[in-house]
Structure 1
Amino acid sequence: MNRKPRIMILTAGYGEGHVQASKALKQQFAAHGIGDVSIVDLMKEAHPLLNTISMKLYIKSAQTSKYGLDYYGWSYYMTRDTKPEGSLSKYFNLLGKKKLKQLIDGMRPDALINTFPFGSAPEIGQETGIPTFTVVTDYALHARWIHPDNDKYYVATEELKDELLAKGFAAGQVLVSGIPIRQAFAHASAGAGKSLQHFNPGKPTVLILAGSYGVLSHIEHMVHTLRKHEGSRLVVVCGRNRKLETRLSEQFAGAGDIHIFGFVEQIHELMAASSCVVTKAGGLTLTEALTMRLPIFIYKPLAGQEKENAIYFERKGMAQISSTTGELEQQIGQFLANPSLPQRMKASMASVHKGNAADTIVQDVLRTVASTLPATV
């Protein structure tokens, strides 16, 4: 019989999405009895100083974009269509390559899985005979994800598959799996959130995900504006941004229908108890809402993959985009007053959603790897 495979998942800490997708895959491998799974933040391991600087620039760009200084967005669009054989792509593919070789020599994995576009992984996989899989964690394709030596892509939509096929990949190299998220979102029910403090049935709830870095700008003004809708409640989740949590808690103390939370581990329960969500447009957050059939309102999406994600969701009728708090307030008001609108948005979500993405990916990886494992006595 064959031994159980060793899996290495490569990720990066630019936002929570890539890491959360990696954890969802590890959780699913464990459900299949595969315990030898390592998650490696390759940028942090290989280039700690560059990682620290680029992380600060990433966060700073999110904060300064509201003033028109969005260098991350500029770089995204400038490099979106670069060729894999170009000098810029070759430079990016060198990132982490030396360290990855060292890690592979030590762990001897049977599969490499990218949840961040590391071109070094398929190159080393090609050299060593280790199959390499890439999980695209957004609803838009960027050139950084594309590498001719990658064995298999897992994507969220048929449109992304068509884009990869148009770039020369074979149909068998691309699987429309959806984006992997924690199992808790698939199993959450509307009744789960009712056990949380402050909640009671029958009142529409607008959930606002302010983000760990306060990426939803003018949050106080947003809350003041949205509280105009009598008969509804606002729930604001500040993530790990303790300063924002403290400021909002003080400002809205005593407001019976405004509830402020910090980091919420069981965020799926809050989502299950909500009527809609106001959020940024990260691939994982959108997928969580999609899985929960929770209508989405996207406020001032950041240029780059978040803007492209937002455009896709709006085009499919699953989300609405606003650029001012007044526009957002109008959208929420129409949503709360018109029962047919939530129904249409939820129906659109049902038509797009791919269930059990993590399990689909894990099973496909295991099938591929099984034929390459040496037999054990």
Structure 2
Amino acid sequence: MNIRHPRILIMTAGYGEGHLQVSHALKQGFLSKEIYSLHIVDLMKEAHPILNSVSSKLYQMSTYSSQFGLDYYGWSYYMTRDTNPIGSVNRYLNAIGKRKILEMIENARPDAIINTFPFGAVTETSRNFSIPTSTVITDYTLHSRWIHPDTDKYYVATEALESELIKDHGTAPDRICVTGIPVRAAFYHTATAATMSSPVEPRMARNRVLIMAGSFAVFHHIVELVQMLLEKGNCDIDLVCGRHDKMVMKLRSLFPDRLDVNVLGYVEQMHELMAASSCIVTKAGGVTLSEALVLKVPVFILKPYGGQERENAQFFQQNGLADIAYDTRELGEKMIHFLHDPAASERIRNKMASMDRGEAAKQIVEDTLLMIDERQRLRGLPLFAVRK
């Protein structure tokens, strides 16, 4: 007898790394259940390659232009945040990708579809095939684009988002799961190992600061912050520049003989670097903040970009998980104060521990499989054989 395992489609988009990272975290979760019939699709890239190329470049440019007052992405975000999910604007946007998703459904015949980007076209099209469709909201804030009345399940980061969906949008409570935002399994494993190996050991005498250089729009601001921390912070510094090779070379030339400044390019084992840090300076992307939350690493954010990053940053600040600064000197002063106050670190880590929801991808995978089996029962069909 041939046993068929569930077929899964994960629909995403390449605006920033967050949506893709969440998709791959979910893929890891399904593979751990030995579900191999799974496809991650960048729907915008597949359906509208020219529009995708132009809009992606505009999105990337907005992160820099906003630092100089031209925050066109932020303006568009706030103008559309509270629009009617079934109004004319969202109806128009929900048509994007419909033809392509119909083609994919007919070819792949998925048993479930998961959105990690707000694609109304996916929800509307899959409804006609009775395919359960869920949405993983990849930020700590809600925008009207994430909401569609036909969504079977929402997976959200916080109880606040759950409450907003219920009270403001009439979503049934049983259609919402508070799971946190999925991150790579390595972050959970590292967090668990750290807890088991040294639950009561004191923090290291000398602090270690992790700075994501890509979160700075102006190069000399990085240098200014490093110099402040070297002068007054009593810390070692890891500077991660990603794939910006010129930045790596320039920073290494500025701090050639400093053993307390470690300049790195692209880092594969980011979970290890973050876990060893006393705090991190980064952008306020939903996934990066979730990684810090899992590892219980306090966060500092410099002048967050308008839109979901600003909202994410404000949520973390309001809940005592992060601090925001609006210029480099303010950032340095806040960090130096933090580094000289061990009680502040312990307080933030305890708050992070209370908000950590566990392994989000695992929860979403298991709930998706339950939804699929429920559809099979309703159709009178045999259930799928899935490794528990």
Shorter-chain TM-score category?
Answer: over 0.9
Contact map agreement 1:225 1:325 (CA 8 A) in 2: no
The aligned residue for residue 289 of structure 1 is: 292
The aligned residue for residue 97 of structure 1 is: 98
Give the partner amino acid of 1:158: E
- Unmatched tracts of structure 1, length 5 or more: 193-200
The aligned residue for residue 196 of structure 1 is: none
Distance 2:130 2:32 in 1: 27
The aligned residue for residue 300 of structure 1 is: 303
Residue 238 of structure 2 aligns to a residue whose secondary structure is strand
Residue 90 of structure 2 aligns to a residue whose secondary structure is helix
Offset at residue 215 of structure 1 (A): 4.6
Give the partner amino acid of 1:235: D
TM-score by length of 2: 0.91
Offset at residue 331 of structure 1 (A): 0.9
1:208 and 2:211 are equivalent in the alignment: yes
Give the direction of change, closer, same or farther, for the CA distance of 1:92–1:351 in structure 2 (3 Å limit).
same
Distance 2:230 2:162 in 1: 42
Contact map agreement 1:214 1:238 (CA 8 A) in 2: no
1:253-295 residue CA offsets vs partner (Å, 9 max, x unmatched) = 2222111111101000001111000111000000000000000
1:128-178 residue CA offsets vs partner (Å, 9 max, x unmatched) = 110100000000000110100101000000000001101111010001011
Residue 232 of structure 2 aligns to a residue whose secondary structure is coil
TM-score by length of 1: 0.94
Distance 2:227 2:175 in 1: 49
Residue 130 of structure 1 aligns to a residue whose secondary structure is coil
Residue 175 of structure 1 aligns to a residue whose secondary structure is strand
The aligned residue for residue 178 of structure 2 is: 176
Offset at residue 247 of structure 1 (A): 2.0
The aligned residue for residue 106 of structure 1 is: 107
Offset at residue 214 of structure 1 (A): 5.2
Give the partner amino acid of 1:41: D
Distance 2:362 2:102 in 1: 28
Distance 2:160 2:175 in 1: 15
Residue 5 of structure 2 aligns to a residue whose secondary structure is coil
1:187 and 2:189 are equivalent in the alignment: yes
Give the partner amino acid of 1:172: D
Give the partner amino acid of 1:369: I
Distance 1:52 1:79 in 2: 22
The aligned residue for residue 200 of structure 2 is: none
Residue 39 of structure 2 aligns to a residue whose secondary structure is strand
Larger mean CA deviation between 268-277 and 180-189 belongs to 180-189
Distance 2:309 2:317 in 1: 12
Identity percentage over the alignment? 51
1:327-369 residue CA offsets vs partner (Å, 9 max, x unmatched) = 1111111111111100111111111111111111000000010
Distance 1:358 1:221 in 2: 39
Offset at residue 230 of structure 1 (A): 4.8
Give the direction of change, closer, same or farther, for the CA distance of 1:323–1:259 in structure 2 (3 Å limit).
same
1:23 and 2:30 are equivalent in the alignment: no
Give the partner amino acid of 2:165: L
The 5-angstrom pairing of residues 170-319 of structure 1 reads 170-188=172-190, 202-211=205-214, 215=217, 218-319=221-322
Aligned residues: 368
Residue 180 of structure 1 aligns to a residue whose secondary structure is coil
The aligned residue for residue 124 of structure 1 is: 125
Offset at residue 4 of structure 1 (A): 1.2
The aligned residue for residue 370 of structure 2 is: 367
Distance 2:183 2:41 in 1: 18
